[in-house]
Structure 1
């Protein structure tokens, strides 16, 4: 299996564009590239009159109209409209990752994934938001970000008609209807709807805390926890109540606060049906019924149902 080092992506390209200094291996590739600058698109789709710079791209596009998918996976017989998509798919079967980062030796199954990853080393962020000028290392990240400005939510759940700005978020949401939990912890077999939640959970087994605060060097097992922690240093409170304009550092705290305005108490005791604004309040209340006392004094082993009670008690020993 041939490995492609990230240096291979930038060397041995003798043909240089006079407009943007980009280099290419083949002169024909350079000529096709130059059409980007001239905006020439000589090839037209016979179905919708969309125009293309390359005949090959036009032929691929026309398969949207014809439904033709001539490329078949030898492993699972799934079909594809382009050879490139077939090759990428086959790597999900073979596990092949031929594109290797020159800096950290991490390998990737797609060249584009390597290019995006390289920007974590170089710091390059070539994609800029037209609304707020924030920059991004990947075009997909920019597209997702722009929807926070436009409010576009074009992905609709077929079960409840809730709308989402991202297809991936919709997929995750659908699992709340289907109950699907496709990601399983290799240590305890606990299952999760999202891969990121499984990875965070696995760190409770490994003790790994890879996310480091730039202000105090405290470490965290989850990036989301680090982001929340950093706000204790910066004082940032980006979540605003629509009722009273009070600001909060965490979205979950804002949600709980909004219940004060709406009067909503969505969390019920499993024993007496008393309702609460916060899940933690419901959990603490239920200990009245269960007798559970999960907090133990480190000095005398007395147990308590609330952490606050335990801390108050421990002052007796000091």
Structure 2
């Protein structure tokens, strides 16, 4: 073998050894190349230079999310990736740098309020707040929503579904936020504190009402009954009592209500399971508070005491109505003659004098009456019922006034 050929083989052996040290796994592939080609040196030079594996795209402007290798690395990182045969993304530090660059370059900013988002989709969803677009529609009441999650929560009103249950008292709620707010009743937590006097409240709305005391904000007074309210919106709701307006209608039965909350309570008759059962008489209720009020009939509980005459009541509303006897308060005013009443039912009955409305019809002779009591007395003419009897002589009468007149004329001393 000539000296020139021997020298060439030795040189090739040295280069083969260098390649083996750089990458053990690629030696078989490199050796195959060398066996097939008599002059492998140009091939070895190409594999020694790793630069083509890492392509710089920084000059191209925005980062290309589809290419994982278009990130410039330092010399030490290049060697590290060549030895391990791992892509640049597999190194956590490098990945963090890439993600940071990507966030900076792919930030989508709202031109209306300046809020930024990581994706164009999130920005498009956010823009509905400004445009008023509400693509999600309730199939039961046609109400529309910006977000699908809000629609899902709203639909629980119709289905009666209450996913969130209090583990203290068993009360259920349609929203988690409502449960969290309710739990403060049990924990005693009052996170909303007045910075003026230090008084704390369970709800932010209660703190807001309280702050009016310190700010000197004017109260809103009803010109019909002189009742005052902290908020103008509350006064507006109250005025419906006087105008008789009932803008909130049940889409199932058509019944109307002046207050939205009253409509919501009513709709549970149609949609909600009457899960609250009285064990005394098996009567069912949609709300736990209604069951609690009802149970007082059986147990005789009367927790509400009149401060004027010590009379007691099972419900707070009944006490409030009774106390008007002592205070003389008559909050219900007739819009026709300015006459005032202590009960709304009395006002309604009185106004029929002005309107001529006669909702009570006799089933025997088609005669109509303004009041149910008058209809009842009239029907006794047809039925012959005489519920009032004289204890002295046993005579019976259709009307109580007739009994009083008989007693006065015949049995008075």
Cα distance per residue 1:125-159 (max 9 Å; x no partner): 534386428578xx9xx965652259997644325
Structure 1 match to 2:182: 113
Bigger RCO of structures 1 and 2 (CA < 8 A, at least 6 apart): 1
Structure 1 window deviating more from structure 2 (147-156 vs 280-289): it is 147-156
Distance 1:165 1:242, change over 3 A: closer
- Aligned partner (choices 298, 316, 319) of residue 205 of structure 1: 298
Distance 1:68 1:201, change over 3 A: closer
TM score, norm. by length of structure 1: 0.53
Contact 2:277-2:291 at 8 Å conserved across structures: yes
Alpha-carbon separation, structure 1, partners of 2:183 and 2:370: 46
Alpha-carbon separation, structure 1, partners of 2:338 and 2:359: 23
1:297 Cα offset (Å): 6.7
Structure with bigger gyration radius: 2
Contact 1:265-1:276 at 8 Å conserved across structures: yes
Alpha-carbon separation, structure 2, partners of 1:186 and 1:263: 45
Is residue 126 of structure 1 aligned with residue 225 of structure 2? no
Distance 1:258 1:181, change over 3 A: farther
Structure 1 counterpart SS, 2:220: coil
- Aligned partner (choices 216, 223, 238) of residue 148 of structure 1: 238
| Alignment coverage as a number of residue pairs | 234
Alpha-carbon separation, structure 2, partners of 1:292 and 1:181: 42
Structure 2 counterpart SS, 1:215: coil
Contact 2:303-2:314 at 8 Å conserved across structures: yes
Cα distance per residue 1:281-311 (max 9 Å; x no partner): 2122223333444556788887655455566
Structure 1 match to 2:148: 67
Structure 2 counterpart SS, 1:110: helix
Structure 2 match to 1:242: 335
Distance 1:194 1:97, change over 3 A: closer
Structure 1 match to 2:261: 168
Alpha-carbon separation, structure 2, partners of 1:190 and 1:293: 33
Is residue 265 of structure 1 aligned with residue 358 of structure 2? yes
Distance 1:41 1:219, change over 3 A: farther
Structure 1 match to 2:224: none
- Which structure carries more helix by proportion? 2
Alpha-carbon separation, structure 1, partners of 2:114 and 2:384: 74
Distance 1:111 1:192, change over 3 A: closer
